[in-house]
Amino acid sequence: MLELKNICKQYQQTTIIDHLSITFPDTGMIGIQGKSGCGKSTLLYIMGMLDDDYQGEIFYNGEKITDRKAFVNQHVSFMMQNKDYVASLTVKENLILPCHISHIHYHSTLLKKIVTQLGIQDLLSRYPYQLSGGQMKRASLAKALLKQSEIILCDEPTGALYHQQAQDVMKYLKKISQNTLVIIVSHDPQLLKQYCDSVLTLEQGQLKGQIKKMKKSMDLSPHSYQHHTLWFYPFRQILHQRNKLMFLFFFQWIVIVAFFCIVTAIFGAFDATKQSEQQAVLKNIINVENKDGTPFENMIDIPNVVAIDYAYQLDQCQLMATDENIEATRYFLPQQNHHIRLSKGRMPQNEFEILVSYPFYQQYHDQPITLTYQQKTLTLTITGVLKQDFFSQNEIYFYHTLKNQLSELINQHELIIETKTSFHQDVYDTLSSDYIVYSEIQERVNSYQSLLSLAQLIAGIFIGMSLLISLLLLGIVESIIYFERKHNVAYLLSLGLSHRRLFLLSLYEAFLLGGLIATGGCLLSMVVYEYVNHVLCIEQYFSFSLLLKPVIFSRYDLYVFIFLIYLVMSVLSVLKPVSQMMKMNQIEVLREE
Ligand SMILES: Nc1ncnc2c1ncn2[C@@H]1O[C@H](COP(=O)(O)OP(=O)(O)OP(=O)(O)O)[C@@H](O)[C@H]1O
């Protein structure tokens, strides 16, 4: 038995319900009529626990209702006047939604029976906006029947229906009222008179009229409960807003792909300079000059050196291919050369054999190459080609024994010192205090790396800003989406969804959204840079590849980082709108529609 005691409700000083007390029977169909604006819907909202801003008490079966959500979950179904559904769910999902929210177990046979009786069995996979007004009302009714509530509150159940449709709905309600309490608010006194067991009039805040006690034909079997997760709800919401979200996804994916391409390019370039340094032909070579520019008369004595020699003025000899002068930097091969990687051929083994860089090979490999010095001419053979690297230029390397033939070209102003690898820096530092020292490869690495560091800084600022903007956009779009869903949230709460579950559902959806964006973006990035590396063969043209390197633990760190940052941002974005929605005035939102 539902009992209202001394209920008072005011809207801004105006009393709408005035010390109203009434006891409703367990079953029967009670009609409530009254002038427009007298407070019929307001009273229904109070009984349906949608409104808690009133004075007075409500009892059910003799017990004061304290847990309002539990009461709605266990005993009440509400047929709203307008938009009594979630637009993103199918009719079937809408029908089962109250049971899922209330954790009520329902049999699919019962669902089938109800929808067949109401003639909506073929409409289950449609969306609410694809139904007519009459079909929608029948779907609302089916929803209340499936939940098997003891109290069904109906706000204008026949509003906007044709006469015959209205009659049908009232007939169904009448049938249900044999075992349940059906309270109907309507503007149609004829219909109320025709179908209701008792018709009450709301006047000056009071319900006037007699309530007929009806006999219950049978007791409703108690609900059996089952845990439901509502997992389909967030999926459906995302699917429903896919057009809006596609734009968001697309933008976010582009930013993530750009992020990975820039990061991998920088890692790749750094790696390439490192590798080039490791494999450089002149890796451990130091050029040394006296500070006062005087020639060296004796070799200097320094430990941890592999070889030491005077420099050769190789610009005084002419290098030619057929009739053409070759513009190439000329060096002697160091004695220690096991670190050198060749893309073709083998290392030179005598003074007529040369090693050349990849660009040199491309230009001159099909022509005879000669070296002319002081009327003598040597014909040279290319035996090996260097692997193209980050520093690749037009270079030629003569075998070191060729020096014996070029003694006239000795330049005593400069020494060439070849060090042992692990002592290279020490030797360099020691020499630099007394001489002018120069290490070709070191200079190149330094200049490239400072350039790369600058590029890294600019790229870092750029991708950091882009990522920030895209995350902000994610936040804004999520907030907008949530505010657009105000009605859905108010509706779910009216069905008895607790704030805790609403919060968890929102988190779940935020995880889903953030996860989809991050996973899609990361997968796309992998595909893009694998494609650039392997299909476009970027290494051939730029001597480096896009490369993802470990940042902390493994090369997947950055994926995890992007994934986490999107999850966190997505969750943070929904916290504010969700908390605001929990505080919103449900009734105002429901009335807005
Ligand atoms: N949020 C609000 N602030 C101020 N007054 C309100 C608010 N909501 C409703 N009212 C007023 O409360 C009164 C009762 O409204 P209610 O909707 O319950 O009436 P009703 O009898 O259902 O009307 P109708 O039959 O036209 O639907 C109305 O006069 C209405 O203007």
pLDDT in tens, 232-257: 888 888 888 888 888 889 999 999 99
Ligand 1 center–CA 446 separation, angstroms: 78
Q: Which helix (H) or strand (E) is 99 found in, with range?
A: helix 91-102
Residue nearest atom 16 of ligand 1, based on CA coordinates: 39
Q: Assess whether the C-beta atom of 186 lies below 6 angstroms from ligand 1.
A: no
* Ligand 1 center–CA 192 separation, angstroms: 21
Is 228 or 310 the better-scoring residue by pLDDT? Answer: 310
Query: Measured between alpha carbons, how far is 415 from 409 in angstroms, rounded to an integer?
Result: 13
Structure confidence at residue 228 (pLDDT): 79
Amino acid occupying residue 570 = S
Rounded CA-CA distance 582/568 in Å is: 21
**CB of residue 41 inside a 6 A radius of ligand 1:** yes
Residue ID of nearest Cα to ligand 1 atom 17: 41
User: Over the stretch 421-444, which tens digit does the pLDDT of each residue have?
Assistant: 899 989 999 999 999 999 988 888
Query: Is the distance from the beta carbon of residue 38 to the nearest atom of ligand 1 less than 6 Å?
Result: yes
Tokens 């690297």 locate to 389
Q: Alpha-carbon distance 363 to 569, whole Å? A: 54
The least confident of 31-45, 138-152, 227-241, 357-371 is 227-241
Query: How far apart are the CA of 392 and the centre of ligand 1, in A?
Result: 83
> Is 379 touching ligand 1 by the criterion CB < 6 Å?
no
- Test site for ligand 1: of 38, 47, 184, most ligand atoms within 8 A of the Cβ: 38
CA of 12, closest atom in ligand 1: 4
With tokens 């300079």, the residue in question is 273
Q: Angle 557-583/242-279 helices, nearest 10 degrees?
A: 150
pLDDT averaged over the chain? 89
* pLDDT cut 90: percent of the chain above it: 52
pTM: 0.76
Contacts for 494 with CB less than 8 Å, ≥ 6 apart: 48, 50, 72, 78, 80, 586, 590
In the chain, what are the domain boundaries? 2-226, 242-276+448-592, 285-419
* CB-ligand 1 contact for 16 (6 Å cutoff): yes
Q: Please tell me if the CB atom of residue 588 comes closer than 6 angstroms to any atom of ligand 1.
A: yes
Distance, CA of 539 to CA of 390 (rounded, Å): 10
Domain 2-226 = CATH 3.40.50.300 = yes
Helices (H) and strands (E) counted in the chain, each on its own, are 17, 22
Check residue 352 and give its pLDDT.
Answer: 94
What is the Cα gyration radius of the chain?
43
Take atom 26 of ligand 1 and give the residue whose Cα is closest: 36
- pLDDT tens-place string over residues 498-551: 999 999 999 999 999 999 999 999 999 999 988 988 888 887 777 788 888 887
Q: According to the model, what pLDDT value does residue 443 have?
A: 85
Taking the centre of ligand 1 as the mean of its atom positions, its distance from the CA of residue 37, in whole angstroms, is 5
Cα separation of 548 and 261, whole Å?
9
Per-residue model confidence (pLDDT) at position 220: 60
Q: Which amino acid is at 190?
A: Q
Digit-coded pLDDT (tens) for 287-300 = 999 999 999 988 88
* Residue 217 banded pLDDT, cuts 50, 70, 90: low
For ligand 1, pick from 10, 18, 40, 43 the residue to mutate: most ligand atoms within 8 Å of CB: 40
Which pLDDT band holds residue 95 (cuts at 50, 70, 90)? Answer: very high
Query: Tokens standing for 69?
Result: 């959500």
For range 74-91, the mean pLDDT: 89
593, pLDDT greater than 70: no
Percent of the chain surpassing pLDDT 70: 98
Distance between Cα 11 and ligand 1 center (Å): 9
Res. 90 pLDDT band, cuts 50 70 90 = very high
Confidence band of 158 (pLDDT split at 50, 70, 90): confident
40 has a pLDDT exceeding 90: yes
Which of 8, 11, 592 for mutating ligand 1's site (highest number of atoms within 8 Å of CB)?
11
What's the pLDDT band for 216 if we cut at 50, 70, 90?
Answer: low
The finding on whether 484 has its CB within 6 A of some atom of ligand 1 is no
Backbone angles phi, psi at 84, to 5 degrees: -90, 50
The ipTM, to two decimals, is 0.96
Instruction: Say how many Å lie between the CA of residue 383 and the centre of ligand 1.
Output: 97
Q: Does 298 contact ligand 1 (Cβ within 6 A)?
A: no
Neighbour count for residue 347 (Cβ, 10 Å):
15
Nearest to 51 by CA among 482, 493, 488: 493
Question: Does 301 score more than 80 pLDDT?
Answer: yes
pLDDT at site 145: 87
Q: Is the pLDDT of residue 106 over 90?
A: no
* Distance separating alpha carbons of residues 68 and 79, to the nearest angstrom: 18
Per-residue model confidence (pLDDT) at position 219: 60
User: How far apart are the C-alpha atoms of 11 and 24, rounded to whole Å?
Assistant: 25
Q: Is 33 near ligand 1, meaning CB less than 6 Å away?
A: no
Could you tell me which of 177, 195, 487, 178 has the C-alpha nearest to residue 186? 195
Which of 153, 156, 150, 115 is closest to 135 using CA atoms? 115
Q: What is the pLDDT of residue 80?
A: 87
DSSP 292: T
* Integer Cα distance of 493 and 582 in angstroms: 9
Ligand 1 contact via 177 beta carbon (within 6 Å): no
* pLDDT reported for residue 233: 86
Residue owning the nearest CA to atom 18 of ligand 1 = 39
